[in-house]
Amino acid sequence: MFLKKAPVLKGVFFFGHALEFGRDPLNFLLKLQNNYERIAQLRIVYLKVYLLVNAEDIKYVLQENSKSFVKGRAYRVLGQVLGNGILTSHGEFWHRQRKLAQPAFYKQRLALLVDIMNDETMTLVKRWEATLQQENGSTTLPMTKEMMKATLLIVTKSLFGTGIDPNKIAHISQDIDTLNEILSMQMRTPVRFPMWVPTKTNQRFKAASERLDAVIQEIISTRRNALESNPEAQFDDLLQMLITAKDEETGEQMTDKQLRDEIVTLFIAGHETTAMAMSWAMYLLAQHPEIVQKMRREAQEVLGEHLPNFENIRQLTYTSQVVNEVLRLYPPAWAISRQVMEDQKIGEYLIPAKEQVFFCPYLLHRNKAYWTNPEEFNPDNFLPERIKQRPSYSYLPFGGGPRLCIGNNFALMEMQVMLALLVKHFDFEKMENVIPDPQITLKPKGNMPIKVSMTSEF
Protein backbone atom coordinates (compact mmCIF):
# COMPACT_ATOMS: atom_id res chain seq x y z
CA MET A 1 0.00 0.00 0.00
CA PHE A 2 1.26 3.47 -0.89
CA LEU A 3 1.78 5.52 2.25
CA LYS A 4 1.49 9.29 2.34
CA LYS A 5 3.83 11.70 4.06
CA ALA A 6 2.29 13.20 7.18
CA PRO A 7 1.15 16.81 6.59
CA VAL A 8 3.97 19.24 7.36
CA LEU A 9 3.40 22.54 9.01
CA LYS A 10 5.37 25.35 7.37
CA GLY A 11 8.26 26.32 9.62
CA VAL A 12 11.02 28.94 9.45
CA PHE A 13 14.49 28.43 7.97
CA PHE A 14 16.85 26.35 10.16
CA PHE A 15 14.79 26.52 13.36
CA GLY A 16 11.67 24.89 11.89
CA HIS A 17 9.00 25.29 14.57
CA ALA A 18 11.43 25.61 17.49
CA LEU A 19 10.75 29.30 18.09
CA GLU A 20 6.97 29.15 17.95
CA PHE A 21 6.94 25.96 20.01
CA GLY A 22 9.41 27.40 22.52
CA ARG A 23 7.39 30.60 23.02
CA ASP A 24 4.08 28.95 23.91
CA PRO A 25 4.08 25.17 23.48
CA LEU A 26 0.53 24.51 24.65
CA ASN A 27 -1.17 27.06 22.43
CA PHE A 28 1.00 26.13 19.48
CA LEU A 29 0.00 22.47 19.87
CA LEU A 30 -3.67 23.31 20.45
CA LYS A 31 -3.59 25.17 17.14
CA LEU A 32 -2.16 22.08 15.46
CA GLN A 33 -4.81 19.86 17.01
CA ASN A 34 -7.52 22.17 15.71
CA ASN A 35 -6.07 22.20 12.20
CA TYR A 36 -5.03 18.61 11.65
CA GLU A 37 -7.46 15.75 12.01
CA ARG A 38 -5.07 12.94 12.67
CA ILE A 39 -1.38 13.71 12.48
CA ALA A 40 0.93 16.70 11.99
CA GLN A 41 4.64 16.76 11.33
CA LEU A 42 6.82 19.44 12.87
CA ARG A 43 10.51 20.15 13.02
CA ILE A 44 12.55 21.41 15.96
CA VAL A 45 15.84 22.36 14.23
CA TYR A 46 16.89 18.92 12.84
CA LEU A 47 14.51 16.86 14.93
CA LYS A 48 11.34 15.69 13.16
CA VAL A 49 8.40 14.82 15.39
CA TYR A 50 4.89 13.67 14.61
CA LEU A 51 1.97 14.79 16.75
CA LEU A 52 -0.84 12.23 17.08
CA VAL A 53 -4.31 13.59 17.71
CA ASN A 54 -6.67 10.59 17.67
CA ALA A 55 -7.41 8.33 20.62
CA GLU A 56 -7.39 5.28 18.29
CA ASP A 57 -3.91 6.06 16.94
CA ILE A 58 -2.59 6.67 20.44
CA LYS A 59 -3.99 3.32 21.52
CA TYR A 60 -2.21 1.70 18.57
CA VAL A 61 1.12 3.22 19.67
CA LEU A 62 0.83 2.61 23.42
CA GLN A 63 -0.95 -0.69 23.44
CA GLU A 64 -1.65 -2.55 20.21
CA ASN A 65 1.81 -2.11 18.69
CA SER A 66 3.76 -1.00 21.75
CA LYS A 67 6.82 -3.12 20.92
CA SER A 68 7.46 -1.08 17.76
CA PHE A 69 7.21 2.27 19.57
CA VAL A 70 9.91 2.52 22.24
CA LYS A 71 10.99 5.25 24.62
CA GLY A 72 13.17 7.63 22.63
CA ARG A 73 15.01 10.91 22.92
CA ALA A 74 13.08 12.47 25.83
CA TYR A 75 13.74 9.40 27.95
CA ARG A 76 17.44 9.40 27.06
CA VAL A 77 17.54 12.96 28.41
CA LEU A 78 15.76 11.82 31.61
CA GLY A 79 18.11 8.81 31.82
CA GLN A 80 20.98 11.16 32.73
CA VAL A 81 19.38 11.37 36.18
CA LEU A 82 17.11 8.33 36.35
CA GLY A 83 19.67 5.90 34.90
CA ASN A 84 18.20 2.69 33.51
CA GLY A 85 15.15 2.58 35.77
CA ILE A 86 11.60 1.41 35.00
CA LEU A 87 10.62 4.70 33.38
CA THR A 88 13.56 4.94 30.99
CA SER A 89 14.56 1.33 30.17
CA HIS A 90 13.01 -0.97 27.58
CA GLY A 91 12.88 -4.53 26.27
CA GLU A 92 13.64 -7.54 28.43
CA PHE A 93 15.43 -5.48 31.08
CA TRP A 94 12.43 -3.20 31.58
CA HIS A 95 10.10 -6.20 31.70
CA ARG A 96 12.12 -7.86 34.45
CA GLN A 97 12.43 -4.68 36.52
CA ARG A 98 8.71 -3.93 36.20
CA LYS A 99 7.89 -7.47 37.32
CA LEU A 100 10.16 -7.07 40.35
CA ALA A 101 8.73 -3.71 41.36
CA GLN A 102 5.05 -4.36 40.57
CA PRO A 103 4.17 -6.18 43.84
CA ALA A 104 5.18 -3.04 45.75
CA PHE A 105 2.13 -1.39 44.17
CA TYR A 106 -0.43 -4.15 44.73
CA LYS A 107 -3.57 -3.00 46.51
CA GLN A 108 -2.76 -4.77 49.78
CA ARG A 109 0.63 -2.99 49.89
CA LEU A 110 -0.94 0.37 49.12
CA ALA A 111 -3.43 -0.17 51.93
CA LEU A 112 -0.47 -0.01 54.33
CA LEU A 113 0.48 3.43 53.02
CA VAL A 114 -2.81 5.18 53.82
CA ASP A 115 -1.56 5.94 57.34
CA ILE A 116 1.53 7.71 56.00
CA MET A 117 -0.69 9.81 53.71
CA ASN A 118 -3.03 10.61 56.62
CA ASP A 119 -0.15 11.54 58.95
CA GLU A 120 1.56 13.85 56.48
CA THR A 121 -1.72 15.53 55.47
CA MET A 122 -2.66 16.08 59.12
CA THR A 123 0.79 17.59 59.76
CA LEU A 124 0.02 19.99 56.93
CA VAL A 125 -3.46 20.72 58.34
CA LYS A 126 -2.00 21.47 61.80
CA ARG A 127 0.68 23.72 60.32
CA TRP A 128 -1.88 25.68 58.29
CA GLU A 129 -4.20 25.94 61.33
CA ALA A 130 -1.36 27.36 63.42
CA THR A 131 -0.62 29.97 60.74
CA LEU A 132 -4.31 30.87 60.46
CA GLN A 133 -4.54 31.40 64.19
CA GLN A 134 -1.63 33.81 64.07
CA GLU A 135 -3.04 35.64 61.08
CA ASN A 136 -6.65 36.23 62.11
CA GLY A 137 -8.24 33.34 60.26
CA SER A 138 -6.91 33.58 56.73
CA THR A 139 -3.60 33.49 54.97
CA THR A 140 -2.21 33.31 51.44
CA LEU A 141 0.04 30.32 50.78
CA PRO A 142 2.35 29.48 47.87
CA MET A 143 0.44 26.30 46.99
CA THR A 144 3.04 24.66 44.76
CA LYS A 145 5.67 24.84 47.49
CA GLU A 146 3.25 23.54 50.11
CA MET A 147 2.28 20.59 47.95
CA MET A 148 5.88 19.77 47.00
CA LYS A 149 6.79 19.61 50.70
CA ALA A 150 3.88 17.32 51.54
CA THR A 151 4.23 14.91 48.60
CA LEU A 152 8.00 14.70 49.09
CA LEU A 153 7.48 13.55 52.68
CA ILE A 154 4.77 11.07 51.64
CA VAL A 155 6.90 9.47 48.93
CA THR A 156 9.97 9.45 51.19
CA LYS A 157 8.19 7.65 54.01
CA SER A 158 6.45 5.27 51.60
CA LEU A 159 9.72 4.38 49.91
CA PHE A 160 12.16 4.40 52.80
CA GLY A 161 10.02 4.03 55.93
CA THR A 162 9.55 6.43 58.77
CA GLY A 163 13.11 6.10 60.11
CA ILE A 164 14.59 8.49 57.58
CA ASP A 165 15.52 12.02 58.57
CA PRO A 166 13.12 14.29 56.62
CA ASN A 167 15.68 17.11 56.75
CA LYS A 168 18.08 15.05 54.71
CA ILE A 169 15.44 14.70 52.03
CA ALA A 170 14.29 18.33 52.18
CA HIS A 171 17.94 19.19 51.65
CA ILE A 172 18.05 17.46 48.24
CA SER A 173 14.73 18.88 47.13
CA GLN A 174 16.55 21.95 45.78
CA ASP A 175 18.87 19.64 43.82
CA ILE A 176 15.89 17.83 42.30
CA ASP A 177 14.52 21.21 41.19
CA THR A 178 17.85 22.06 39.56
CA LEU A 179 17.99 18.73 37.74
CA ASN A 180 14.39 19.12 36.57
CA GLU A 181 15.05 22.60 35.26
CA ILE A 182 18.16 21.54 33.32
CA LEU A 183 16.61 18.37 31.88
CA SER A 184 13.57 20.33 30.82
CA MET A 185 15.78 22.81 28.98
CA GLN A 186 17.67 19.97 27.27
CA MET A 187 14.42 18.39 26.09
CA ARG A 188 13.42 21.54 24.26
CA THR A 189 16.78 22.29 22.67
CA PRO A 190 18.24 19.56 20.52
CA VAL A 191 21.59 21.40 20.28
CA ARG A 192 23.68 21.59 23.44
CA PHE A 193 27.17 21.16 24.83
CA PRO A 194 28.06 17.58 25.85
CA MET A 195 28.25 16.96 29.61
CA TRP A 196 32.06 16.90 29.68
CA VAL A 197 32.26 20.58 28.63
CA PRO A 198 32.51 22.52 31.92
CA THR A 199 29.74 25.05 31.21
CA LYS A 200 28.02 26.61 34.21
CA THR A 201 24.86 24.57 33.55
CA ASN A 202 26.81 21.31 33.24
CA GLN A 203 28.63 22.03 36.49
CA ARG A 204 25.36 22.78 38.32
CA PHE A 205 23.92 19.57 36.90
CA LYS A 206 26.89 17.49 37.99
CA ALA A 207 26.94 18.91 41.53
CA ALA A 208 23.19 18.38 42.02
CA SER A 209 23.37 14.79 40.65
CA GLU A 210 26.26 13.95 42.93
CA ARG A 211 24.45 15.21 46.03
CA LEU A 212 21.27 13.32 45.08
CA ASP A 213 23.25 10.12 44.48
CA ALA A 214 25.14 10.43 47.76
CA VAL A 215 21.90 10.62 49.77
CA ILE A 216 20.27 7.71 47.89
CA GLN A 217 23.44 5.58 48.20
CA GLU A 218 23.57 6.25 51.93
CA ILE A 219 19.93 5.19 52.32
CA ILE A 220 20.56 1.95 50.39
CA SER A 221 23.75 1.04 52.25
CA THR A 222 22.25 1.86 55.67
CA ARG A 223 19.40 -0.54 54.87
CA ARG A 224 21.72 -3.23 53.51
CA ASN A 225 23.84 -3.00 56.68
CA ALA A 226 20.77 -3.17 58.92
CA LEU A 227 19.61 -6.29 57.08
CA GLU A 228 23.05 -7.89 57.26
CA SER A 229 23.33 -7.38 60.99
CA ASN A 230 19.77 -8.60 61.55
CA PRO A 231 18.35 -10.68 58.65
CA GLU A 232 15.04 -11.05 60.53
CA ALA A 233 14.50 -7.28 60.65
CA GLN A 234 11.17 -6.19 59.12
CA PHE A 235 10.90 -2.90 57.30
CA ASP A 236 7.48 -2.28 55.81
CA ASP A 237 8.43 -0.07 52.89
CA LEU A 238 9.08 -0.11 49.15
CA LEU A 239 12.86 -0.07 49.58
CA GLN A 240 12.63 -3.34 51.48
CA MET A 241 10.47 -4.87 48.74
CA LEU A 242 12.89 -3.80 46.05
CA ILE A 243 15.97 -5.00 47.99
CA THR A 244 14.46 -8.41 48.66
CA ALA A 245 12.60 -8.83 45.32
CA LYS A 246 13.81 -11.90 43.41
CA ASP A 247 13.39 -12.77 39.76
CA GLU A 248 11.01 -15.77 39.73
CA GLU A 249 13.04 -17.69 37.13
CA THR A 250 16.65 -16.88 37.99
CA GLY A 251 16.34 -15.97 41.68
CA GLU A 252 18.50 -12.90 40.90
CA GLN A 253 18.18 -9.76 43.01
CA MET A 254 18.83 -6.14 42.03
CA THR A 255 22.39 -4.82 42.10
CA ASP A 256 23.14 -1.58 43.96
CA LYS A 257 23.17 0.29 40.62
CA GLN A 258 19.73 -1.09 39.65
CA LEU A 259 18.39 -0.29 43.09
CA ARG A 260 19.75 3.24 42.83
CA ASP A 261 18.10 3.76 39.44
CA GLU A 262 14.72 2.40 40.58
CA ILE A 263 14.75 4.34 43.84
CA VAL A 264 15.67 7.62 42.14
CA THR A 265 12.98 6.93 39.49
CA LEU A 266 10.24 6.24 42.01
CA PHE A 267 11.37 9.09 44.22
CA ILE A 268 11.34 11.68 41.42
CA ALA A 269 8.41 10.29 39.36
CA GLY A 270 6.47 9.81 42.56
CA HIS A 271 6.34 13.27 44.05
CA GLU A 272 6.57 16.10 41.54
CA THR A 273 3.74 14.74 39.40
CA THR A 274 1.45 14.42 42.43
CA ALA A 275 2.52 17.80 43.82
CA MET A 276 1.61 19.48 40.52
CA ALA A 277 -1.72 17.63 40.35
CA MET A 278 -2.51 18.68 43.93
CA SER A 279 -1.58 22.31 43.21
CA TRP A 280 -3.89 22.39 40.17
CA ALA A 281 -6.60 20.74 42.28
CA MET A 282 -6.31 23.56 44.82
CA TYR A 283 -6.41 26.15 42.04
CA LEU A 284 -9.59 24.70 40.55
CA LEU A 285 -11.28 24.19 43.93
CA ALA A 286 -10.42 27.77 44.91
CA GLN A 287 -12.69 28.83 42.02
CA HIS A 288 -15.49 26.34 42.73
CA PRO A 289 -16.75 26.57 46.33
CA GLU A 290 -19.87 24.58 45.32
CA ILE A 291 -17.67 21.60 44.41
CA VAL A 292 -15.71 21.97 47.66
CA GLN A 293 -19.02 21.89 49.54
CA LYS A 294 -20.07 18.68 47.81
CA MET A 295 -16.73 17.06 48.58
CA ARG A 296 -16.95 18.20 52.20
CA ARG A 297 -20.39 16.62 52.59
CA GLU A 298 -19.11 13.39 51.15
CA ALA A 299 -16.05 13.45 53.44
CA GLN A 300 -18.31 14.07 56.43
CA GLU A 301 -20.64 11.20 55.46
CA VAL A 302 -17.92 8.66 54.69
CA LEU A 303 -15.35 9.60 57.33
CA GLY A 304 -17.21 11.34 60.13
CA GLU A 305 -14.50 12.32 62.59
CA HIS A 306 -12.10 9.57 61.44
CA LEU A 307 -9.15 9.61 59.11
CA PRO A 308 -9.63 7.70 55.83
CA ASN A 309 -8.82 3.99 55.67
CA PHE A 310 -8.32 1.93 52.53
CA GLU A 311 -12.01 0.97 52.30
CA ASN A 312 -13.04 4.65 52.54
CA ILE A 313 -11.01 5.49 49.44
CA ARG A 314 -13.46 3.46 47.32
CA GLN A 315 -16.40 5.18 49.03
CA LEU A 316 -15.18 8.73 48.32
CA THR A 317 -16.66 8.56 44.82
CA TYR A 318 -17.25 12.25 44.23
CA THR A 319 -13.74 13.11 45.44
CA SER A 320 -12.44 10.52 42.99
CA GLN A 321 -14.39 12.22 40.15
CA VAL A 322 -12.84 15.54 41.18
CA VAL A 323 -9.34 14.03 41.11
CA ASN A 324 -9.93 12.60 37.62
CA GLU A 325 -11.27 15.91 36.38
CA VAL A 326 -8.24 17.79 37.74
CA LEU A 327 -5.97 15.33 35.92
CA ARG A 328 -8.00 15.88 32.75
CA LEU A 329 -7.58 19.66 32.70
CA TYR A 330 -4.03 19.74 34.03
CA PRO A 331 -2.35 16.39 33.36
CA PRO A 332 1.12 16.64 34.99
CA ALA A 333 2.53 14.35 32.26
CA TRP A 334 1.34 16.76 29.56
CA ALA A 335 3.24 15.14 26.67
CA ILE A 336 4.34 11.55 26.04
CA SER A 337 6.65 10.46 23.23
CA ARG A 338 7.92 7.31 21.54
CA GLN A 339 10.51 6.50 18.90
CA VAL A 340 9.70 4.16 16.02
CA MET A 341 12.10 1.26 15.56
CA GLU A 342 11.32 0.57 11.89
CA ASP A 343 9.11 2.29 9.31
CA GLN A 344 5.58 2.37 10.69
CA LYS A 345 2.22 3.42 9.40
CA ILE A 346 -0.42 5.38 11.19
CA GLY A 347 -3.49 4.97 9.00
CA GLU A 348 -2.38 6.01 5.53
CA TYR A 349 0.67 7.90 6.78
CA LEU A 350 4.28 6.77 6.94
CA ILE A 351 6.40 7.35 10.03
CA PRO A 352 9.98 6.62 8.96
CA ALA A 353 12.29 4.56 11.21
CA LYS A 354 14.01 6.43 14.07
CA GLU A 355 11.53 9.33 14.06
CA GLN A 356 9.68 10.44 17.17
CA VAL A 357 5.91 10.40 17.61
CA PHE A 358 4.22 12.11 20.50
CA PHE A 359 0.83 12.96 21.87
CA CYS A 360 -0.33 15.38 24.54
CA PRO A 361 -2.75 14.33 27.24
CA TYR A 362 -3.26 18.09 27.70
CA LEU A 363 -4.62 18.32 24.12
CA LEU A 364 -6.38 14.99 24.07
CA HIS A 365 -8.26 15.92 27.25
CA ARG A 366 -9.50 19.11 25.55
CA ASN A 367 -10.35 17.53 22.22
CA LYS A 368 -13.94 18.45 21.30
CA ALA A 369 -14.37 15.07 19.61
CA TYR A 370 -14.33 13.47 23.06
CA TRP A 371 -15.37 16.17 25.54
CA THR A 372 -18.28 18.60 25.67
CA ASN A 373 -17.25 22.04 26.97
CA PRO A 374 -13.69 20.83 27.47
CA GLU A 375 -12.50 24.01 29.23
CA GLU A 376 -15.10 23.70 31.98
CA PHE A 377 -14.15 22.09 35.34
CA ASN A 378 -16.89 19.50 35.66
CA PRO A 379 -16.36 16.41 37.84
CA ASP A 380 -19.55 14.92 36.30
CA ASN A 381 -17.43 14.12 33.26
CA PHE A 382 -16.39 11.12 35.34
CA LEU A 383 -19.81 9.76 36.17
CA PRO A 384 -19.70 6.04 35.21
CA GLU A 385 -22.23 6.46 32.38
CA ARG A 386 -20.19 9.32 30.84
CA ILE A 387 -16.95 7.34 31.04
CA LYS A 388 -18.62 4.52 29.08
CA GLN A 389 -19.50 6.89 26.22
CA ARG A 390 -15.88 7.84 25.49
CA PRO A 391 -13.18 5.82 23.73
CA SER A 392 -10.83 4.34 26.34
CA TYR A 393 -7.73 6.16 25.08
CA SER A 394 -9.32 9.62 25.18
CA TYR A 395 -8.22 10.04 28.81
CA LEU A 396 -4.59 9.22 29.58
CA PRO A 397 -3.17 11.08 32.60
CA PHE A 398 -1.15 7.97 33.47
CA GLY A 399 -0.35 6.83 29.92
CA GLY A 400 -1.55 3.41 28.79
CA GLY A 401 -0.64 -0.06 27.61
CA PRO A 402 2.20 -2.01 29.21
CA ARG A 403 4.02 1.22 30.20
CA LEU A 404 1.07 2.54 32.20
CA CYS A 405 2.25 4.47 35.27
CA ILE A 406 3.16 1.98 38.00
CA GLY A 407 2.23 4.53 40.67
CA ASN A 408 -1.25 5.44 39.35
CA ASN A 409 -3.20 3.92 42.26
CA PHE A 410 -0.69 5.32 44.75
CA ALA A 411 -1.16 8.82 43.30
CA LEU A 412 -4.96 8.61 43.07
CA MET A 413 -5.17 7.38 46.65
CA GLU A 414 -2.80 10.10 47.86
CA MET A 415 -4.82 12.82 46.14
CA GLN A 416 -8.11 11.50 47.51
CA VAL A 417 -6.76 11.34 51.06
CA MET A 418 -5.20 14.80 50.89
CA LEU A 419 -8.23 16.45 49.29
CA ALA A 420 -10.80 14.82 51.58
CA LEU A 421 -8.88 16.02 54.65
CA LEU A 422 -8.09 19.49 53.33
CA VAL A 423 -11.69 20.32 52.32
CA LYS A 424 -12.88 19.17 55.75
CA HIS A 425 -10.81 21.89 57.37
CA PHE A 426 -10.40 24.76 54.94
CA ASP A 427 -11.95 27.05 52.33
CA PHE A 428 -9.86 28.27 49.41
CA GLU A 429 -9.88 31.39 47.28
CA LYS A 430 -8.00 32.15 44.06
CA MET A 431 -5.69 35.17 44.34
CA GLU A 432 -4.53 35.51 40.75
CA ASN A 433 -4.82 33.87 37.34
CA VAL A 434 -2.24 31.15 36.94
CA ILE A 435 -1.16 29.79 33.58
CA PRO A 436 0.48 26.42 32.97
CA ASP A 437 4.19 26.23 32.27
CA PRO A 438 4.91 22.97 30.43
CA GLN A 439 8.29 21.81 31.68
CA ILE A 440 8.90 18.06 32.16
CA THR A 441 5.68 18.19 34.15
CA LEU A 442 2.88 20.72 33.74
CA LYS A 443 3.85 23.30 36.35
CA PRO A 444 2.05 26.49 37.21
CA LYS A 445 3.89 29.72 36.35
CA GLY A 446 4.82 31.21 39.71
CA ASN A 447 4.06 29.80 43.13
CA MET A 448 0.29 29.73 42.77
CA PRO A 449 -0.78 31.90 45.73
CA ILE A 450 -4.07 30.69 47.24
CA LYS A 451 -5.95 32.20 50.16
CA VAL A 452 -6.75 29.59 52.80
CA SER A 453 -9.20 30.09 55.68
CA MET A 454 -10.86 27.86 58.26
CA THR A 455 -14.17 26.55 57.01
CA SER A 456 -17.25 27.51 59.00
CA GLU A 457 -19.21 24.51 57.65
CA PHE A 458 -19.80 21.61 60.11
Tell me which of 11, 397, 436, 444 binds ligand HEM, using CB under 6 A.
397
Binding flag, residue 90, ligand HEM (CB under 6 A): no
179 alpha carbon, distance to own chain's centre: 16
List b or e across 371-408, with b for residues whose CB sees 16 or more CB atoms inside 10 angstroms: beebeebbbebbeeeeeeeeeebbbbbbbbbebebbbe
Of 339, 359, 329, 365, the residue nearest 442 (C-alpha)? 329
Min separation Cβ 54 and ligand HEM, Å? 17
Nearest CB to ligand HEM, comparing residues 4 and 76: 76
Q: Cβ-count burial of 276 within 10 angstroms (0-12 exposed, 13-18 middle, 19+ buried)?
A: buried
Show the binding pattern over residues 50-89: x = contacts ligand HEM (CB under 6 A), - = does not.
------------------------------------xx--
Please say whether the beta carbons of 326 and 402 come within 8 A: no
Using rule CB under 6 A, residue 109 touches ligand HEM: no
Confirm or reject binding of residue 183 to ligand HEM (CB under 6 A): no
| Contacts to ligand HEM from residues 259-278, by CB under 6 A | 265-266, 269-270, 273-274, 277
Residues 348-377 that bind ligand HEM (CB under 6 A): none
Closest distance of CB 219 from ligand HEM, Å: 15
Does 98 interact with ligand HEM (rule: CB under 6 A)?
yes
In contact, 71 and 88? CB cutoff 8 Å: yes
Q: Specify the residue, 128 or 410, whose C-beta has the smaller distance to ligand HEM.
A: 410
Confirm or reject binding of residue 332 to ligand HEM (CB under 6 A): yes
- Rounded to whole angstroms, how far apart are CA atoms 406 and 398? 9
16 or 180: CB nearest ligand HEM: 180
Q: Is the separation of the CB atoms in 452 and 343 below 8 Å? A: no
Half-sphere exposure of 18 (CA within 13 A, CB side): 16
Say which amino acid occupies 302.
V
CB of 262 to ligand HEM, least distance (A): 8
The least CB distance from residue 293 to ligand HEM, in Å, is 24
Phi, psi of 136 (to 5 degrees): 55, 35
Residue 18 or residue 278: which is nearer to ligand HEM going by CB? 278
Residues of the shown chain interacting with ligand HEM in the complex, contacts defined by CB under 6 A: 86-87, 98, 155, 265-266, 269-270, 273-274, 277, 332-333, 336, 397-399, 403, 405-407, 410-411
